[in-house]
Structure 1
Amino acid sequence: MFETLKEQPADKILELIGLYKADPRAEKIDLGVGVYKNAEGVTPVMRAVKAAEKKIWEEQTTKAYTGLAGDPVYVDTMIDLVLGNSVPGDQIAAVTTPGGTGAVRQAFELTQSATPGARVFVSDPTWPNHLSILKYLGMETIPYRYFDSETGGVNFDGMIADLKAGLKPGDVVLLHGCCHNPTGANLNMVQWKEVVAVLNEKGAVPMIDIAYQGFGDGLEEDAAGTRYVAENVPELLIAASCSKNFGIYRERTGLLMAVGKDTSRRDVTQGMLAFLNRQNFSFPPDHGARVVGTILSDAELRADWKAELEDVRLGMLELRKQLAGELQRLSGSDRFAFLGEHRGMFSRLGTTPELVQKMRADSGIYMVGDSRMNIAGLNTATVPILAQAIIDAGV
């Protein structure tokens, strides 16, 4: 059996990590791996997470299975975090998943079950694992224009033109709720409304991947687009992740929500989500979910978590402003101003793989070949080094 297996292509980010580790230069900078790091280069355990884990350790009396949907406290508090009061609870089916990736995978499988042959429209570019999962599942994938390399912003006219020209009833449109990965360029509320109008006109179903809530403009602000969609479309899938905003990457804590205006179908949808969990991994992991539910349901822990998350968000914004300012000083132009306008952990420079390779070879700057860089991999001391490397490479 094993002799028939084919070697799979290496993950570009994991490959980049290996190259970075092997580089002996002291001033090398890792902007590839997609995790938050503080100024010391550490991904810290948040204060509220530590406190919640201690509380759980003291109070938990069993490690028995949870239900197929996961801990109800986690599910309910996460629905509130993402959707607020935008839609009634009887319109929402939801299950805990192994990370946001698990939620994405389950959403695609639900789509296959409900609408065999449905096509999935994805932004160009998008998170590479979206494309990898879709390919593995054998689902037809269609790109729509999104990032404008010239301006560093959203090519919104191109996006709308592609959706209007290509969508058919039952198609799924994958959208990033905030902090677009890999570009950092986001839709504004006027644009969200136009997208919804096109989706409704074409009879397409939106799917929102919201993995960075709280990293952009704030918890409520980052959820505004998702909430508007939920209020104004017949059906919606949402894949949410707690990896980044709670800093619990290794705990694999996600949530899949299916929102539908037809409340008579809610229980059937909930049953299907539970069925998919059972087939793929049976009961979902609980520790991370228990931590998040504990934090969100405790006023003191929630306030401390929000305060620390806000510090993280503002720190990344300051790094963005510093980088944009340094590049303006070095280049004598504002052509890199978009870096200060992007939101979240990532930005895309919009340059060529050859110049990315040149920055790596000449200056020890490690970013993905498509020029995606993790802003959280910087600190105030390394920003000038990166800025000089960008200018020296001729970006």
Structure 2
Amino acid sequence: MLGALAAPAPDPIIALMQRLAADPRDGRIDLGVGVYRDAAGRTPVMGAVAAAEARILAAQQTKGYLGLAGDPGFLAAMVDLLLGASSDRVAAVATPGGSGALRQVLALVAQANPDAQVWIGVPSWPNHAAIAEGLGLAVRPHAYLDAGGGVDTAAMLADLEGARAGDVVVLHASCHNPSGADLTGDDWAAVADLCARRGLVPLVDVAYQGFGAGLEEDVAGLRHLAGGLPEVLVAASGSKSFGLYRERVGLALALCAGPAEAGRVGAALAALNRRNFAFPPDHGARVVTTILRDPVLCADWRAELAGIRRRVQANRSALAQALRVATQGAGFDALERQRGMFSLLDLAPDRIEALRERHAIYLVPDGRINIAGLTPATIPTVATAIATVLRG
């Protein structure tokens, strides 16, 4: 039986990690893998996380199972963080990371409406389409980026006019992966109007809350949808916002038409947890709950997250300026305007390969660059190398 299996295509980011690990050269620069790094190149444990873990270690007396939906305190704290207030229209379950949340939300879609099409912008995070297709859902593309590195809202809305009632539209709450180009407030209002008119269900991926403009600002679009639409789906991650990458903290949330529907949907989500992994992991979720429910820890976390956000934006500005100098040209204003950890560089595959082979600079094959992987010391090196390969 197993001998008939074909090997899957290698994941480009995992393959990049393997090539980087095997590269013997000193001075390798990793701008591919999507994790935050500080100025020393480390992915640090946030101070509030370390303090919360110490409290948990001192007080926790059992590792027994929790319910299938996870800790109710975690669910309530995350709903407050995402939506700004609790609601009797909400059904939510804890999941293993943001990918697990996406999987459970899309599995809910497949269960409720197997004929639903999932509309995903071009470009988007590859796992959006991979998870939807793995569940047997049809995936449809829609336009997203314009030629200047911003959002082509008119083209996006025109494509979504072809969606059917009951279709799902995947949206990035902020810090679009891979481009860094986010919807404006007017864009969110236009998308909300279209969803209401066409009977579409938005699925908002909240992976970088606090990395863009601020904790509340980064979910303003989500809250606008939640205030005006009967159904909104959310997949949220604690990996970036709390630095809990390996703890796999996620939340799958459905905003429903009313309390009765929310009860049924909550039961359906819990049943999906049971069939897929039974009880969700708790340690990272308990860390998040401890931070969000303690005023001192929460203030410390907010301050540290604001510092991370400022550092990433400073990297953007510094790289844009270094590229202007190295290339003796303009054309990098979009890089400075974008938000979050990622941007797309307009580099042909052979030039991305040249960066890797000649300069030991590792980018994802589509040109996605991890802005948070830069340091003040590496920014001039990267800019000079990019200018060199651009000149051929």
TM-score w.r.t. length of structure 2: 0.98
CA distance in 2, matches of 1:159, 1:355: 29
Please state whether the residue corresponding to 2:91 is helix, strand or coil: strand
Question: How big is each residue's C-alpha offset from its partner over 1:56-115, in whole Å with a ceiling of 9 and x where there is no partner?
Answer: 111111111111111111111111111103xx5101110000000000000110001111
Whether the 8 Å contact between 1:68 and 1:274 is mirrored in structure 2 is yes
Residue 25 of structure 2 corresponds to 25
Amino acid aligned to 1:53? E
CA distance in 2, matches of 1:219, 1:67: 29
Are 2:310 and 1:314 aligned?
yes
How many angstroms does 1:332 deviate by? 3.2
Q: Which of 89, 93, 100 lines up with 1:102 in the alignment?
A: 100
Number of residue equivalences: 391
Amino acid aligned to 1:118? A
CA distance in 1, matches of 2:365, 2:148: 19
CA distance in 1, matches of 2:275, 2:315: 44
Percent identity, aligned pairs only? 49
Q: Which of 101, 110, 117 lines up with 1:119 in the alignment?
A: 117
Residue 261 of structure 1 corresponds to 257
How many angstroms does 1:348 deviate by? 0.6
Residue 351 of structure 1 corresponds to 347
How many angstroms does 1:14 deviate by? 0.8
Residue 156 of structure 2 corresponds to 159
Amino acid aligned to 1:128? P
Are 2:227 and 1:231 aligned?
yes
Question: How big is each residue's C-alpha offset from its partner over 1:331-352, in whole Å with a ceiling of 9 and x where there is no partner?
Answer: 3333011111111111111332
CA distance in 2, matches of 1:220, 1:375: 22
Residue 2 of structure 1 corresponds to 2
Unaligned runs of 5+ in 2: none
How many angstroms does 1:364 deviate by? 1.6
Whether the 8 Å contact between 2:114 and 2:137 is mirrored in structure 1 is no
Moved more, 130-139 or 35-44: 130-139
Are 2:333 and 1:337 aligned?
yes
How many angstroms does 1:137 deviate by? 1.4
Are 2:291 and 1:295 aligned?
yes
Residue 146 of structure 1 corresponds to 144
Whether the 8 Å contact between 1:182 and 1:347 is mirrored in structure 2 is yes
CA distance in 2, matches of 1:295, 1:303: 9
How many angstroms does 1:266 deviate by? 1.2
CA distance in 2, matches of 1:59, 1:330: 55
How many angstroms does 1:328 deviate by? 1.6
Equivalent positions of 1:155-304 (< 5 A) are 155-164=152-161, 166-304=162-300
Whether the 8 Å contact between 1:152 and 1:350 is mirrored in structure 2 is no
Residue 393 of structure 1 corresponds to 389
CA distance in 1, matches of 2:134, 2:96: 18
Amino acid aligned to 1:326? A
Question: How big is each residue's C-alpha offset from its partner over 1:126-170, in whole Å with a ceiling of 9 and x where there is no partner?
Answer: 11111211222121000101123x311112221111111x21100
Unaligned runs of 5+ in 1: none
Question: How big is each residue's C-alpha offset from its partner over 1:234-264, in whole Å with a ceiling of 9 and x where there is no partner?
Answer: 1000000001110111110100110023222
Are 2:65 and 1:69 aligned?
no
CA distance in 2, matches of 1:350, 1:228: 33
Question: How big is each residue's C-alpha offset from its partner over 1:262-289, in whole Å with a ceiling of 9 and x where there is no partner?
Answer: 2221111111111111111111100000
CA distance in 1, matches of 2:135, 2:366: 25
CA distance in 2, matches of 1:294, 1:237: 25
CA distance in 1, matches of 2:251, 2:224: 19
RMSD, aligned α-carbons: 1.1
CA distance in 2, matches of 1:234, 1:333: 48
CA distance in 2, matches of 1:355, 1:220: 39
Moved more, 35-44 or 347-356: 347-356
CA distance in 2, matches of 1:361, 1:7: 27
Residue 44 of structure 1 corresponds to 44
Whether the 8 Å contact between 2:88 and 2:258 is mirrored in structure 1 is no
CA distance in 2, matches of 1:23, 1:56: 40
Please state whether the residue corresponding to 1:64 is helix, strand or coil: coil
How many angstroms does 1:3 deviate by? 1.0
